[in-house]
Every structure is written in C-alpha cells, then in structure tokens.
Amino acid sequence: MTTWRALYGFLFVSLALTAYVAGVALGPLRWLFWDPPLFRRFNEALVWYSGIPLVIGAVLIGWDLFRNVVRLRHAKSIRNDPPANRFFTVALTAYNDERSIGPAVQDFRAHPLVRRVIVISNNSTDRTMAVAEEAGALVFNEPRQGYGACVHRALQQALRFEDTELTVLCEGDLTFRANDLDKFLAYIPHADVVNGSRIVEQLQDRRTQLSLFMHYGNLFAGKVLELKHLGMVSLTDVGTTYKVCRNESLRRLLQNLDPRINLEFNAYFLDTALKLGLRILECPITFHPRVGTSKGGNLNNRVATRLGLRMLLGIFVDWKGFARD
Ligand SMILES: Nc1nc2c(ncn2[C@@H]2O[C@H](COP(=O)(O)OP(=O)(O)O)[C@@H](O)[C@H]2O)c(=O)[nH]1
Ligand SMILES: [Mg+2]
C-alpha cells in the first residue's frame, strides 16, 4: 500500500513552514528599513495563512497514520526464512574503472560464500574488461550506456546462474567491501532484498565521497521514500548500489524495472519493490574512499543536488519521465 496522503501531507507541511519562516524573517527587515502598508499586509498574510497548508498537511498525514498504518501495524509479523542455499553470485558494475576493478573482484572472490563474480562493463574504453578477467571474473559488456542499464543487465545476468539463490549487486570501485556480506547474510532471512545503508557515522571512512550535504541529503530522501510506504519499511539511504536480493523476488521485480531510468535507479528500484509488496530491509555497511574518478551522482554537491531533486520528483510524481533511450 502506498501512503500518498502522508507523502503529500509532508509537502504541505514543508510549504507551510517555508512560508512561515520567510514571513518571520521579513519582519525585522521591515522594522529596520522599509515598511510600506502593502508590504506589511503581505508579510502578515504570509505568516497568518501559512496555517492553512499546515492544517491540510497535518490532516493528510494523520489520515494515513491513524487509518492505514495502524491497520498495517496490526497485521505485522517477522519473517524468518533463512535461504537453503547461502552462496552468492556477485555482480559488479564498472565504467572505465581499470584502477579499482581488479582488487574489487579479488576482494569478493576471496569471500568463502561467493560462488562467482561477474563484471558488467558499460562500454569501458580503458582496460577494465581485461583487468577484471585477469582477476578471475566472468566479464560482460552492456552496450546501452548508463548506470540503470548497467545495473539492470548485472541483475539479469546474475539470475541466469541456477546454483545460487542470492544475488549481490555492487560497484567495482572499491567503495564497498566483501566483508559486509556476512552482515547481509544475517539480515536476509527477514527480507526479499537487503539494501546497504552508507548513512551510518561509525562505518564511514574519513575520506569517502559522502560530504556532509550528501550524507543528510540521502537520509532526507530515504525518509521521504519511507513516508510513501509508511508502515512497511525503514530507510536511511537511497543511493547505495550494494544490496543482496533473493532470486525468486528479484525475478518478479526485474520485470517491472525500466533500464532506461539512469542515475536515479536505486531510489526507483526501492520504490518499485515496495509497490510490489516486497520486504526491503536496510543493513549498515562500511563505506570506503572511491578509487578512480566518480562518473555518477557523487561527483560533487552540485551534481548530487540535481540527482537528489530528480529522485524526489520520481518519488512524488513518477519515474517514467526519466526514461531515456
Ligand atoms: N555514472 C555512470 N556509472 C556507470 C555507467 N555505467 C556503469 N557505471 C557504473 O556504475 C557505478 C556508479 O558510478 P560511480 O562512478 O561509482 O558513481 P558514484 O558511485 O556516484 O561515485 C560504477 O560502478 C560505475 O562504473 C554510466 O554510464 N554512468
Ligand atoms: Mg561509486
């Protein structure tokens, strides 16, 4: 069930608070410099009428909380279904990542529960494919350019192996490490997809891509997505690639995912899975400095802001608008 009322209620509350704070901030300016009567009336109206969206928002949030979420919480249960087969197929995305892909493949291959590592290169023009192969990975090229196309192909390719039930999706840029697979394994009995969260202070290296802005931006977007699926999930991050999926659930999910959605793909993946009623559970993971240059949303705060706004648009409205051929 999608809790649209709570989501839009939050939008109304945000609008109200913005108007209220702007109104209060204008007060001293008026007092100090300039106070024509019309401007004064506008300023007072801004503060006074900000109460309207505030009430509308509170009613909408309350409606979902007390009518729908209460019902969901009553029907709640803990799933405890350990997979019969605990081995992983690991799929790593790579785009001109020749500096990191070798050690990334070796790191995952060294984990005792990893059956194989596959690398999906996305038209890399450097030695990514050769290095991955030398490190012992099965290597594929995805010709459709873009992070979404690369991730979609990685999941599709991993599902072809029938000797594993668990698919790991990760990036080959050394920001994520194989060590965390043990944490994922502890969580998987309770979920269809265990999604890594990088937004855990104690598990971030000092020099990661996550600036203060990106840290709180991801947390904010995670909470907004949670508002859309109240009572079903707890989220603190929308941008991690690193996740473990049960193959039976992933098969169903993948049919509903459009590979043309690009850098917004992770938030889109979570939103779509939740709409299908899949159980998503977050697991704290360690996050390390990137080796090689970022080509994604973590390049700088400006790029991250644009990506964040697009993710919010996808959550509030729809993802279809972001599909690019
Ligand atoms: N941005 C981007 N990433 C791609 C593409 N194709 C594959 N990828 C891979 O997707 C992952 C995310 O990109 P990355 O540069 O690490 O972005 P960041 O995690 O935001 O710094 C990496 O493993 C890339 O190699 C593409 O066309 N664009
Ligand atoms: Mg990365």
Which ligand gives the minimal distance to the CA of 95? 1
**C-alpha 294 to ligand 2 mean position (Å):** 6
Buried b (16+ CB within 10 A) or exposed e, 158-173: bbebeebbbbbbbbbb
Q: Tell me the pLDDT of the chain (325 aa) as tens digits.
A: 899 999 999 999 999 999 999 999 998 888 887 778 888 999 999 999 999 999 999 999 999 999 999 999 998 999 999 999 999 999 999 999 999 999 999 999 999 999 999 999 999 999 999 999 999 999 999 999 999 999 999 999 999 999 999 999 999 999 999 999 999 999 999 999 999 999 999 999 999 999 999 999 999 999 999 999 999 999 999 999 999 999 999 999 999 999 999 999 999 999 999 999 999 999 999 999 999 988 877 778 889 999 999 999 999 999 998 887 7
Residues lining ligand 2 (ion), CB within 5 A?
171, 173, 175
Which ligand gives the minimal distance to the CA of 294? 1
Please identify, by atom number, the ligand 1 atom nearest to the C-alpha of residue 123.
6
Alpha carbon distance 11, 25 (integer Å): 21
Alpha carbon distance 199, 240 (integer Å): 10
**C-alpha 248 to ligand 1 mean position (Å):** 26
Length of the chain: 325
Q: In the structure, which protein residues have their CB atom closer than 6 angstroms to any atom of ligand 1?
A: 93-95, 97, 122, 145-147, 150, 171-173, 209, 290, 294-298
Residues in CB range of 93: below 8 A, 6 or more apart: 120, 122, 147, 150, 151, 154, 169, 170, 171, 172, 241
- Taking only the tens place, the pLDDT of each residue in 217-275 is 999 999 999 999 999 999 999 999 999 999 999 999 999 999 999 999 999 999 999 99
**What is the crossing angle of helices 265-275 and 247-255, to 10°?**
100
Residue ranges of E strands in 180-221: 193-197
* Minimum CA distance residue for ligand 1 atom 21: 294
Site to substitute for ligand 1 among 150, 295, 303, 311, most atoms within 8 A of C-beta: 295
Alpha carbon distance 237, 269 (integer Å): 13
